[in-house]
Amino acid sequence: MSTNAVRGLNVLPISELEKNENSSKGNFPKSFLENSIVNPDNYQNVNSASMLSAAQNGSGAEINGDVVGNAEVEYIETEKLTDLLSVDATLNTLLARLDSKDWVSVCEALNNVRQLSVYHKEKLIDFLGDLIPKIVKSLKNPRSAVCKTAIMTCGDIFKVYNDLIIDFLDPLLVQLLLKSSQDKRFVCEASETALIAMTTWISPSLLLPRLQPYLKNKNPRIRAKASMCFSRSVPRLGVEGIKAYGINKLIEIAASQLIDKLPESREAARALAVELQAFYETSKLSSSEDSSQELDCLSWEAFCQAELSALSAQAILRVTSIAKEGSVAGC
């Protein structure tokens, strides 16, 4: 075809172009031409289906009692997880599938970890030492589906194993603090949920020492998330736990976080300061009632001034007095 003829085709209306193509000898059927047009949405769907099919290698993996073939990755809530049909077979291939180069297989394996932790806690506990590094690897995965599934896995592990997970916590904790600070909303929300599970199910006496170093992290977002976790955990210590940990240490932490650059850190510090004031005054009252002699107990104001620098004490007292005035006004 000459150059002029090609140029002519380029300026023809679509109806004329289709007419010329259908009338030409040896052209493909119209249906073939329509299917050969590249549609980004169709291409993505076909490509995903191909990836899923390749990931299964014809065998499929079991999730929620079903053998999954060509299916999209599903974010299954803990309450909707069902037991596995073949526990031993799943366990035998679990570590290998967590190391797979195919992200779908990794997601399936992570969901299997969740199922095993919920329904077969005792069988999985011996694998924790080998599992945690692979879960951490998935938390670092740039693909959001893998990352979020790994985050959900952490939440389930915290809930099921409680304090048994404490020796494996550090690498999980740093990743969850990082992910909860990200801009991807659904990853951030999943991380927040996992961190709440951590502060709910792990004893604060064990958790607080693990959190404390992150309160001084160079990354302000990590400091903020760690402060929020720390503030949530302290009330769970109870009276005896706070005494054992040291209220003087806790008030110093609250004072240092009050001057942090991020509002989340400052808000967590305010909540912690108010909690410590309530504990201190309750503890002082209880000590006075139990003693036959009147104790020479410091007031909250005097305690803060004795334990903190002048500026820090002033900041703590300002926060706690405002909170106290607000509670009185509310009454």
Write the pLDDT tens digit of every residue in 231-244. 999 999 998 999 99
- Please report which confidence band the pLDDT of residue 96 belongs to, taking 50, 70 and 90 as the band edges: very high
Percent of the chain with pLDDT over 70: 72
The two three-digit tokens of residue 139, written as one number: 């938390």
Contacts of 66 (CB under 8 A, 6+ apart): none
**Are the C-beta atoms of residues 100 and 137 closer than 8 Å to each other?**
no
> Any idea which of 16-20, 125-129, 265-269, 310-314 has the lowest mean pLDDT?
16-20
**Are the C-beta atoms of residues 191 and 179 closer than 8 Å to each other?**
yes
Q: b/e for 18-32, b at 16 or more Cβ within 10 A?
A: eeeeeeeeeeeeeee
Residues composing the chain = 331
The reported pLDDT for the residue numbered 302 is: 95
Cα distance between residue 207 and residue 199, in whole Å: 8
Which helix (H) or strand (E) segment is 61 a member of?
strand 61-63
The reported pLDDT for the residue numbered 270 is: 97
Q: What is the mean pLDDT of residues 218-238?
A: 96
Residue with tokens 């002699």: 293
- Please report which confidence band the pLDDT of residue 38 belongs to, taking 50, 70 and 90 as the band edges: very low
Cα distance between residue 207 and residue 146, in whole Å: 26
Examine the pLDDT at 66 and tell me if it is beyond 90.
no
Examine the pLDDT at 27 and tell me if it is beyond 90.
no
The reported pLDDT for the residue numbered 282 is: 87
139-147 contacts at long range (C-beta below 8 A, 24 or more positions apart): 139/172, 139/175, 139/176, 139/179, 140/175, 141/103, 141/106, 143/103, 144/184, 144/186, 144/187, 145/73, 145/103, 145/107, 146/103, 146/106, 146/107, 146/110, 147/179, 147/187
The reported pLDDT for the residue numbered 32 is: 33
Whether the pTM exceeds 0.85: the reply is no
Write the pLDDT tens digit of every residue in 128-156. 999 999 999 999 999 999 999 999 999 99
Average per-residue pLDDT for the chain: 80
Examine the pLDDT at 123 and tell me if it is beyond 50.
yes
Question: Hey, which residues does 37 pair with through a beta bridge?
Answer: none
Find which of 1-10, 42-51, 146-155 is predicted with most confidence, using mean pLDDT: 146-155
Write the pLDDT tens digit of every residue in 248-288. 999 999 999 999 999 999 999 999 999 999 999 888 766 55
Q: What is the mean pLDDT of residues 286-297?
A: 52
Helices (H), the chain: 3-11, 14-23, 30-36, 40-56, 87-98, 103-119, 121-125, 128-139, 144-161, 169-179, 185-201, 204-211, 220-233, 238-245, 247-258, 263-290, 300-307, 310-330
The reported pLDDT for the residue numbered 184 is: 85
The reported pLDDT for the residue numbered 298 is: 86
> Any idea which of 68-82, 103-117, 129-143 has the lowest mean pLDDT?
68-82
The reported pLDDT for the residue numbered 224 is: 95
Strands 66-68 and 61-63: antiparallel
Write the pLDDT tens digit of every residue in 154-198. 999 999 999 999 999 999 999 999 999 887 899 999 999 999 999
The reported pLDDT for the residue numbered 120 is: 95
What Å distances lie between residue 276 and 79, 91, 198, 304, 331, CA to CA?
35, 46, 22, 11, 21
